[in-house]
Structure 1
Amino acid sequence: MTDPLGAPDPGDALVVTPDVAIPRAELDAKATRAGGPGGQHVNTSSTRIELRWNVRTTRALDDARRDHVLARLAARLDADGNVRVVASEFRSQRQNREAAEARLADLVRRALHVPKKRKATKPSRAAKAKRLDEKRKHSEKKRQRRDFDI
Protein backbone atom coordinates (compact mmCIF):
# COMPACT_ATOMS: atom_id res chain seq x y z
CA MET A 1 0.00 0.00 0.00
CA THR A 2 2.75 2.51 0.84
CA ASP A 3 6.34 2.89 -0.24
CA PRO A 4 9.21 3.11 2.31
CA LEU A 5 8.76 6.89 2.56
CA GLY A 6 5.09 6.51 3.54
CA ALA A 7 3.49 7.81 0.33
CA PRO A 8 0.45 5.81 -0.82
CA ASP A 9 0.78 3.59 -3.90
CA PRO A 10 -1.71 4.95 -6.47
CA GLY A 11 -2.02 1.55 -8.19
CA ASP A 12 -4.19 -0.11 -5.55
CA ALA A 13 -5.63 2.97 -3.85
CA LEU A 14 -7.66 6.09 -4.55
CA VAL A 15 -5.33 8.96 -3.66
CA VAL A 16 -7.14 11.70 -1.75
CA THR A 17 -4.19 13.75 -0.47
CA PRO A 18 -0.45 13.04 -0.56
CA ASP A 19 -0.71 11.25 2.80
CA VAL A 20 -4.24 9.76 2.57
CA ALA A 21 -5.27 7.04 0.13
CA ILE A 22 -8.38 4.86 0.20
CA PRO A 23 -7.64 1.20 -0.65
CA ARG A 24 -9.75 0.16 -3.63
CA ALA A 25 -10.72 -2.99 -1.69
CA GLU A 26 -12.72 -0.74 0.66
CA LEU A 27 -14.73 0.75 -2.22
CA ASP A 28 -17.96 -1.02 -3.10
CA ALA A 29 -19.03 -0.21 -6.67
CA LYS A 30 -22.40 -1.21 -8.06
CA ALA A 31 -23.58 -0.70 -11.65
CA THR A 32 -27.24 0.08 -12.22
CA ARG A 33 -29.36 1.36 -15.07
CA ALA A 34 -29.28 5.09 -15.49
CA GLY A 35 -32.58 6.92 -15.69
CA GLY A 36 -33.69 9.74 -17.90
CA PRO A 37 -33.74 10.18 -21.68
CA GLY A 38 -31.45 8.30 -24.04
CA GLY A 39 -33.49 5.81 -26.00
CA GLN A 40 -32.94 2.10 -26.24
CA HIS A 41 -29.27 2.08 -25.19
CA VAL A 42 -29.84 3.67 -21.78
CA ASN A 43 -32.75 1.36 -21.04
CA THR A 44 -30.70 -1.82 -21.49
CA SER A 45 -27.19 -1.01 -20.22
CA SER A 46 -26.09 -0.57 -16.63
CA THR A 47 -23.72 2.38 -16.87
CA ARG A 48 -24.67 4.31 -13.72
CA ILE A 49 -22.11 3.69 -10.94
CA GLU A 50 -22.91 3.87 -7.25
CA LEU A 51 -19.78 3.95 -5.11
CA ARG A 52 -19.91 3.30 -1.36
CA TRP A 53 -17.13 3.77 1.20
CA ASN A 54 -17.45 3.03 4.91
CA VAL A 55 -15.82 5.83 6.90
CA ARG A 56 -16.18 4.05 10.26
CA THR A 57 -14.26 0.91 9.27
CA THR A 58 -11.66 2.36 6.90
CA ARG A 59 -7.94 1.79 7.34
CA ALA A 60 -7.12 4.89 5.30
CA LEU A 61 -7.65 7.33 8.19
CA ASP A 62 -6.25 7.52 11.70
CA ASP A 63 -8.66 8.01 14.60
CA ALA A 64 -8.43 11.82 14.70
CA ARG A 65 -9.01 12.19 10.95
CA ARG A 66 -11.80 9.59 11.02
CA ASP A 67 -13.64 11.54 13.74
CA HIS A 68 -13.17 14.78 11.79
CA VAL A 69 -14.49 13.24 8.54
CA LEU A 70 -17.40 11.60 10.37
CA ALA A 71 -18.36 14.96 11.84
CA ARG A 72 -18.01 16.86 8.55
CA LEU A 73 -19.87 14.25 6.47
CA ALA A 74 -22.52 13.38 9.07
CA ALA A 75 -25.37 14.52 6.81
CA ARG A 76 -24.17 12.27 3.95
CA LEU A 77 -23.62 9.09 5.98
CA ASP A 78 -26.14 6.26 6.28
CA ALA A 79 -26.74 4.29 9.50
CA ASP A 80 -23.76 1.98 8.83
CA GLY A 81 -21.32 4.85 8.24
CA ASN A 82 -21.25 4.56 4.44
CA VAL A 83 -20.86 7.58 2.21
CA ARG A 84 -22.46 7.10 -1.23
CA VAL A 85 -21.44 8.80 -4.48
CA VAL A 86 -23.29 8.30 -7.77
CA ALA A 87 -22.14 9.06 -11.32
CA SER A 88 -24.25 8.63 -14.46
CA GLU A 89 -23.24 11.42 -16.80
CA PHE A 90 -21.18 9.23 -19.16
CA ARG A 91 -22.24 6.35 -21.41
CA SER A 92 -19.56 3.96 -20.16
CA GLN A 93 -19.15 2.27 -16.79
CA ARG A 94 -15.42 2.99 -16.74
CA GLN A 95 -15.88 6.74 -17.19
CA ASN A 96 -18.66 6.83 -14.61
CA ARG A 97 -16.52 4.89 -12.13
CA GLU A 98 -13.65 7.34 -12.63
CA ALA A 99 -16.05 10.25 -12.15
CA ALA A 100 -17.50 8.70 -8.97
CA GLU A 101 -14.01 8.05 -7.58
CA ALA A 102 -12.94 11.61 -8.36
CA ARG A 103 -16.08 12.91 -6.64
CA LEU A 104 -15.45 10.75 -3.57
CA ALA A 105 -11.81 11.86 -3.38
CA ASP A 106 -12.86 15.52 -3.62
CA LEU A 107 -15.56 15.03 -0.97
CA VAL A 108 -13.11 13.41 1.47
CA ARG A 109 -10.41 16.01 0.67
CA ARG A 110 -12.82 18.82 1.56
CA ALA A 111 -13.92 16.98 4.72
CA LEU A 112 -10.29 16.58 5.83
CA HIS A 113 -9.57 20.30 5.43
CA VAL A 114 -9.27 22.06 8.78
CA PRO A 115 -9.96 25.81 8.48
CA LYS A 116 -7.49 28.19 10.07
CA LYS A 117 -8.49 29.65 13.42
CA ARG A 118 -9.36 33.32 13.32
CA LYS A 119 -7.02 35.51 15.33
CA ALA A 120 -8.83 38.15 17.31
CA THR A 121 -7.51 41.63 16.55
CA LYS A 122 -8.36 45.03 17.90
CA PRO A 123 -8.55 48.26 15.91
CA SER A 124 -5.59 50.61 16.02
CA ARG A 125 -5.74 53.97 17.78
CA ALA A 126 -5.79 55.75 14.39
CA ALA A 127 -8.69 53.59 13.19
CA LYS A 128 -10.68 54.39 16.34
CA ALA A 129 -9.97 58.11 15.94
CA LYS A 130 -11.01 58.04 12.27
CA ARG A 131 -14.26 56.22 13.10
CA LEU A 132 -15.15 58.73 15.84
CA ASP A 133 -14.25 61.65 13.55
CA GLU A 134 -16.54 60.26 10.80
CA LYS A 135 -19.34 59.84 13.35
CA ARG A 136 -18.87 63.43 14.47
CA LYS A 137 -18.99 64.74 10.88
CA HIS A 138 -22.07 62.68 10.09
CA SER A 139 -23.83 63.92 13.23
CA GLU A 140 -22.96 67.52 12.37
CA LYS A 141 -24.33 67.08 8.83
CA LYS A 142 -27.61 65.69 10.20
CA ARG A 143 -27.83 68.46 12.80
CA GLN A 144 -27.46 71.16 10.12
CA ARG A 145 -30.32 69.64 8.08
CA ARG A 146 -32.80 69.97 10.91
CA ASP A 147 -35.61 72.45 10.42
CA PHE A 148 -35.84 74.85 13.37
CA ASP A 149 -39.05 76.82 13.84
CA ILE A 150 -38.19 80.03 15.64
Structure 2
Amino acid sequence: MIAVTPRIQLHDDEIGETFVRASGPGGQNVNKVSTAVELRFDAAGSPNLPDGVKLRLRGLAGRRMTQDGVIVIDAQRFRTRERNRADALERLVELIRAATIVPKVRRPTRPTLGSKERRLVGKEKRGRVKALRSGRPGDD
Protein backbone atom coordinates (compact mmCIF):
# COMPACT_ATOMS: atom_id res chain seq x y z
CA MET A 1 0.00 0.00 0.00
CA ILE A 2 1.23 3.43 -0.97
CA ALA A 3 -0.13 6.19 1.25
CA VAL A 4 -0.93 9.34 -0.71
CA THR A 5 -3.06 11.04 1.94
CA PRO A 6 -4.60 9.64 5.12
CA ARG A 7 -7.76 8.82 3.12
CA ILE A 8 -6.25 7.82 -0.23
CA GLN A 9 -4.03 4.77 -0.54
CA LEU A 10 -2.97 3.00 -3.71
CA HIS A 11 -2.46 -0.74 -4.03
CA ASP A 12 0.92 -1.88 -5.34
CA ASP A 13 -0.74 -3.86 -8.14
CA GLU A 14 -2.35 -0.66 -9.53
CA ILE A 15 1.08 0.62 -10.55
CA GLY A 16 2.94 -0.92 -13.46
CA GLU A 17 6.64 -0.40 -14.10
CA THR A 18 8.76 -1.10 -17.13
CA PHE A 19 12.48 -0.52 -17.28
CA VAL A 20 14.09 0.91 -20.40
CA ARG A 21 17.51 2.20 -21.36
CA ALA A 22 18.07 5.75 -20.27
CA SER A 23 19.76 8.63 -22.00
CA GLY A 24 21.99 10.96 -20.05
CA PRO A 25 24.64 10.24 -17.42
CA GLY A 26 26.03 6.75 -16.94
CA GLY A 27 28.95 6.37 -19.34
CA GLN A 28 29.26 2.97 -21.01
CA ASN A 29 26.84 1.56 -18.47
CA VAL A 30 23.96 3.50 -20.08
CA ASN A 31 24.20 1.30 -23.18
CA LYS A 32 24.04 -1.97 -21.24
CA VAL A 33 21.64 -1.55 -18.35
CA SER A 34 17.96 -0.55 -18.35
CA THR A 35 17.84 2.00 -15.53
CA ALA A 36 15.08 4.36 -16.67
CA VAL A 37 11.61 3.67 -15.30
CA GLU A 38 8.32 4.11 -17.13
CA LEU A 39 5.63 4.09 -14.45
CA ARG A 40 1.98 3.57 -15.46
CA PHE A 41 -1.02 4.19 -13.24
CA ASP A 42 -4.62 3.74 -14.41
CA ALA A 43 -6.19 6.74 -12.71
CA ALA A 44 -9.53 6.43 -14.50
CA GLY A 45 -9.95 2.81 -13.41
CA SER A 46 -8.63 3.19 -9.88
CA PRO A 47 -11.25 2.39 -7.21
CA ASN A 48 -9.24 4.27 -4.58
CA LEU A 49 -9.54 7.74 -6.14
CA PRO A 50 -12.69 9.82 -5.66
CA ASP A 51 -14.32 11.23 -8.81
CA GLY A 52 -13.36 14.83 -7.98
CA VAL A 53 -9.71 13.87 -7.65
CA LYS A 54 -9.83 11.99 -10.97
CA LEU A 55 -11.26 15.06 -12.68
CA ARG A 56 -8.64 17.44 -11.25
CA LEU A 57 -5.93 14.88 -11.98
CA ARG A 58 -6.82 14.93 -15.68
CA GLY A 59 -6.19 18.68 -15.76
CA LEU A 60 -2.99 18.56 -13.70
CA ALA A 61 -1.43 15.60 -15.50
CA GLY A 62 -1.81 17.19 -18.93
CA ARG A 63 0.04 15.25 -21.58
CA ARG A 64 1.28 12.71 -19.04
CA MET A 65 -2.23 11.21 -19.07
CA THR A 66 -3.37 9.16 -22.06
CA GLN A 67 -6.86 9.23 -23.59
CA ASP A 68 -7.71 6.11 -21.56
CA GLY A 69 -6.90 7.84 -18.27
CA VAL A 70 -3.53 6.16 -17.69
CA ILE A 71 -0.81 8.35 -16.19
CA VAL A 72 2.65 7.65 -17.64
CA ILE A 73 5.69 9.01 -15.77
CA ASP A 74 9.20 8.60 -17.16
CA ALA A 75 12.07 8.79 -14.67
CA GLN A 76 15.67 8.75 -15.83
CA ARG A 77 17.20 11.47 -13.70
CA PHE A 78 19.47 9.12 -11.74
CA ARG A 79 21.98 6.42 -12.66
CA THR A 80 20.41 3.61 -10.66
CA ARG A 81 17.15 1.79 -11.21
CA GLU A 82 16.13 2.05 -7.54
CA ARG A 83 16.51 5.82 -7.38
CA ASN A 84 14.65 6.32 -10.66
CA ARG A 85 11.88 4.05 -9.40
CA ALA A 86 11.57 6.00 -6.15
CA ASP A 87 11.64 9.29 -8.10
CA ALA A 88 8.81 8.19 -10.42
CA LEU A 89 6.70 6.99 -7.51
CA GLU A 90 7.30 10.20 -5.59
CA ARG A 91 6.28 12.30 -8.61
CA LEU A 92 3.08 10.27 -8.99
CA VAL A 93 2.20 10.69 -5.31
CA GLU A 94 2.86 14.46 -5.49
CA LEU A 95 0.65 14.73 -8.58
CA ILE A 96 -2.21 12.92 -6.84
CA ARG A 97 -1.74 15.01 -3.68
CA ALA A 98 -1.97 18.18 -5.75
CA ALA A 99 -5.22 16.87 -7.26
CA THR A 100 -6.75 16.31 -3.81
CA ILE A 101 -6.68 20.06 -3.08
CA VAL A 102 -10.07 21.53 -3.96
CA PRO A 103 -9.65 25.02 -5.46
CA LYS A 104 -11.50 27.87 -3.79
CA VAL A 105 -14.60 29.04 -5.60
CA ARG A 106 -14.21 32.65 -6.69
CA ARG A 107 -17.20 34.77 -5.88
CA PRO A 108 -17.33 37.90 -8.01
CA THR A 109 -17.32 41.12 -5.98
CA ARG A 110 -18.00 44.74 -6.83
CA PRO A 111 -15.45 47.49 -6.35
CA THR A 112 -16.07 49.65 -3.28
CA LEU A 113 -17.15 53.28 -3.59
CA GLY A 114 -13.80 54.42 -2.19
CA SER A 115 -11.81 52.42 -4.75
CA LYS A 116 -13.94 53.87 -7.58
CA GLU A 117 -13.31 57.42 -6.33
CA ARG A 118 -9.56 56.81 -5.96
CA ARG A 119 -9.42 55.47 -9.51
CA LEU A 120 -11.25 58.52 -10.91
CA VAL A 121 -9.01 60.93 -8.95
CA GLY A 122 -5.94 59.18 -10.33
CA LYS A 123 -7.28 59.35 -13.89
CA GLU A 124 -8.02 63.06 -13.46
CA LYS A 125 -4.48 63.75 -12.21
CA ARG A 126 -2.93 61.79 -15.05
CA GLY A 127 -5.11 63.63 -17.58
CA ARG A 128 -3.93 66.98 -16.24
CA VAL A 129 -0.27 65.90 -16.51
CA LYS A 130 -0.78 64.84 -20.10
CA ALA A 131 -2.65 68.04 -20.94
CA LEU A 132 0.29 70.09 -19.64
CA ARG A 133 2.66 68.11 -21.88
CA SER A 134 0.78 68.80 -25.08
CA GLY A 135 2.35 71.52 -27.18
CA ARG A 136 0.43 74.75 -27.60
CA PRO A 137 0.08 76.34 -31.04
CA GLY A 138 2.64 79.05 -31.63
CA ASP A 139 5.28 77.63 -29.20
CA ASP A 140 7.62 76.49 -32.02
Quickly name the TM-score band, shorter chain normalised: 0.7 to 0.9
Does the CA contact (< 8 Å) of 1:53 and 1:84 recur in 2? yes
1:61 aligns to 2:25 (yes or no)? no
- Local SS of the residue matching 1:59: coil
Question: Aligned equivalents of 2:18 and 2:100: distance in 1?
Answer: 26
Partner of 2:30: 42
Indicate if the aligned counterparts of 2:26 and 2:79 stay in contact, CA closer than 8 A. no
SS at match of 1:60: coil
CA shift for structure 1 position 108: 1.9
Change (3 A) 1:139 1:27: same
Give how far 1:148 is off.
Answer: 3.2
Post-superposition Cα deviations, 1:80-101, rounded to whole Å, max 9, x if no partner, equal: 3211111122222211111110
Matched, 1:70 2:58: yes
Amino acid at match of 1:87: A
Residues 73, 111 of structure 1: 8 Å contact kept: no
CA–CA separation in structure 1 for the residues paired with 2:15 and 2:128? 69
Match of 1:91 in 2: 79
Distance 1:135 1:79, change over 3 A: closer
TM-score, normalised on structure 1? 0.77
Instruction: Tell me the secondary structure at the aligned position of residue 139 of structure 1.
Output: helix
Question: Residue 131 of structure 1: SS of its match in structure 2?
Answer: helix
Q: 1:70–1:135: structure 2 CA closer, same or farther, 3 Å change rule?
A: closer
Q: How many residues align?
A: 138
2:106 to 99, 113, 118: 118
Unaligned residue ranges in structure 2 (runs of 5+):
none
Per-residue Cα deviation, 1:44-87 (whole angstroms, up to 9, x for no partner): 11211111000121122123332332354353222432111111
Corresponding residue for residue 97 of structure 2:
109
Aligned partners of 2:53, 2:66: CA distance in 1, in Å?
19
Q: Which amino acid aligns with 2:14?
A: E
CA RMSD, 1 decimal: 2.2
Aligned mates of 2:106, 2:78 — CA distance in 1: 42
Q: Which runs of 5+ in 1 are unaligned?
A: 1-11
- Counterparts of 1:36 and 1:146 in 2: how far apart (Å)? 62
Go from structure 1 to structure 2 and tell me whether the alpha carbon gap of 1:120 and 1:25 turns closer, same or farther (over 3 Å shift). same
- Counterpart selection for 1:131 from 119, 123, 130: 119
**Residue type of the partner of 1:63?**
D
